[in-house]
């Protein structure tokens, strides 16, 4: 297999822009005349500090992050934020609202229960998480310290198409699989976080945008490394940050900027996912379990009525260069992830492949 004829539809870690990987390869042994690889640099060195600062500035610029919020580069994946959020924001005897619209939100809610009272504001498990609740369905607790939701449900292929209105209660959002695909009004958010490995970089770094005024009242048991205050005060460098992952993240953000920024990513995701949904909807064989209004722009989840036929599709797709198209083990079927770095051409070819497979079966 070669790169030119392979389209990697993996849900994460996922495809990265070829241009970014080429730059990284060219700079691998000698970064910018330093005589060393970024991997070998001290995180306190001038050369590395420049990479770090530029990456942070670029994220702030691209996403319009206001000065009320700090951009952090953390470790432990998106999953560590499931603990960090309640530890830092719940407060002693506090309570928080959670919308359970998928597996990751459920894990987050269960984690939060260890630290305070959790009000399940919505739960779509009765319909196997095939839809996003409407605003009117959210059972909000006015005393909640925050409202938590997962913007895009990577496994089930559903996505919030609106920002929940929670009055004065700030939002916390897992944007691991749809960060940098649309503008975000950070003034409504206490925390937005995303593991980089879906849409903006490699595994190893998690971007967290934290409202500074809400940091500093963590529970006394909060580990030093899980305190937003620690990381804000030390500019994500209390300890050694994931240096190389941050460098690649920086290259991806530069690529996004050069490709037209967030607006261009937004247009591209709508175009790519609608091509696939059209191919699925106009087929006899395939269908989407997710409700139409809740369909994800990022992870197109679909299937046939038969597990054997799904298996046949995976194999045929892979031998035509469309790899990692298997659905998550919790749901089976197929999943084509159309993140920022997936070229339109890959999606067009997959849509044709779906139509061809449908005709032949």
Ligand X SMILES: *Cc1c(COP(=O)(O)O)cnc(C)c1O
Q: List contacts with ligand X (CB under 6 A).
A: 12, 77-79, 104, 150, 154, 174, 176-177, 195, 198
77 vs 261, which CB is nearer to ligand X? 77
Query: Concatenated DSSP letters for 53-110?
Result: HHHHHHHHHHHT--TTEEEEEESSHHHHHHHHHHHHHS-TT-EEEEEE-SHHHHHHHH
Q: Which residue is nearest to ligand X (CB)?
A: 77
Least Å distance, CB 325 to ligand X, is 17
State in angstroms the smallest separation of the CB of 176 from ligand X: 4
**Encoding tokens for residue 239?**
């300890």
Cβ nearer to ligand X, comparing 41 with 204: 204
Q: How far apart are CA 31 and CA 332, in angstroms?
A: 43
Q: Which is nearer to ligand X, 8 or 154 (CB)?
A: 154
Separation between Cα atoms, residue 306 and residue 8, nearest integer Å: 24
Which residue number, 12 or 241, has a Cβ lying nearer to ligand X?
12
Residue 312 makes CB contacts below 8 A (sequence gap 6+) with: 361
Closest separation between CB of residue 1 and ligand X, Å? 25
Nearer to ligand X, 195 or 201 (CB): 195
Token output for 216: 């500093």
Separation between Cα atoms, residue 9 and residue 350, nearest integer Å: 10
In the complex with ligand X, the residue whose CB is nearer, 122 or 285, is: 122
| Closest alpha carbon to 112 in 155, 174, 156 | 174
The distance of closest approach from Cβ of residue 151 to ligand X in the complex, given in angstroms and rounded to an integer, is 8
Q: How far is the CB of 72 from ligand X (least distance, A)?
A: 15
Q: Which is nearer to ligand X, 177 or 230 (CB)?
A: 177
CA 330 to CA 27: how far, in whole Å? 40
CB of 43 to ligand X, least distance (A): 21
How far apart (Å, rounded) are the C-alpha atoms in residues 128 and 135?
19
Length of the chain (residues): 361
Cβ atoms 74, 67 nearer than 8 A: no
By beta-carbon proximity to ligand X, the closer residue of 285 and 336 is 336
Q: Are 157 and 290 in contact (CB under 8 A)?
A: yes
**Least distance (Å) between residue 331 CB and ligand X:** 14
Measured in whole angstroms, how far is the alpha carbon of residue 103 from the centre of its chain? 14
> What CA–CA distance (Å, rounded) separates 66 from 326?
39
Sign of the dihedral through C-alpha 13, 17, 21, 24: negative
Shortest gap between Cβ of 204 and ligand X (angstroms)?
9
């Amino acid at each position: 297999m070669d790169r030119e004829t392979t389209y990697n539809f993996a849900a994460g870690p996922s495809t990265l822009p070829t241009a970014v990987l080429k730059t990284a390869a060219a700079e691998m042994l000698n970064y910018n005349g330093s005589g060393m690889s970024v991997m070998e640099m001290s995180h306190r060195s001038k050369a590395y500090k420049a990479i770090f600062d530029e990456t942070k500035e670029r994220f702030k610029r691209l996403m319009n992050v206001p000065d009320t919020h700090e951009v952090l580069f953390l470790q432990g994946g998106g999953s560590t934020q499931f603990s960090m959020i309640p530890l830092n924001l719940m407060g002693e005897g506090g309570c928080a609202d959670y919308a359970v619209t998928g597996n990751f939100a459920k894990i987050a809610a269960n984690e939060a229960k260890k630290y305070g009272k959790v009000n399940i504001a919505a739960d779509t498990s009765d319909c196997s998480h095939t839809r996003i609740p409407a605003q009117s369905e959210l059972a909000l607790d006015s005393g909640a310290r925050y409202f938590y939701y997962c913007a895009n449900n990577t496994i089930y292929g559903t996505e919030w198409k609106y920002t929940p209105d929670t009055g004065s209660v700030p939002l916390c959002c897992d944007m691991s699989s749809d960060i940098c695909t649309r503008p975000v009004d950070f003034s409504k958010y206490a925390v937005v976080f995303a593991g980089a490995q879906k849409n903006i970089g490699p595994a190893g770094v998690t971007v967290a945008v934290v409202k500074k005024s809400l940091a500093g009242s963590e529970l006394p048991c909060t580990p030093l490394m899980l305190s937003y205050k620690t990381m804000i005060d030390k500019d994500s460098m209390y300890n050694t940050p994931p240096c190389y992952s941050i460098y690649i993240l920086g290259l991806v953000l530069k690529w996004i900027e050069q490709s037209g920024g967030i607006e261009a990513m937004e247009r591209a995701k709508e175009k790519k996912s609608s091509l696939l949904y059209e191919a699925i909807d106009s087929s006899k064989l395939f269908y989407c379990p997710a409700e139409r209004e809740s369909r994800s722009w990022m992870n197109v989840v679909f299937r046939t009525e038969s597990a054997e036929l799904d298996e046949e599709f995976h194999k045929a797709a892979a031998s035509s260069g469309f790899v990692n198209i298997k659905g998550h083990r919790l749901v089976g079927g197929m999943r084509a992830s159309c993140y920022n770095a997936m070229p339109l051409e890959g999606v067009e070819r997959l849509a044709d492949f779906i139509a061809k497979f449908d005709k032949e079966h």
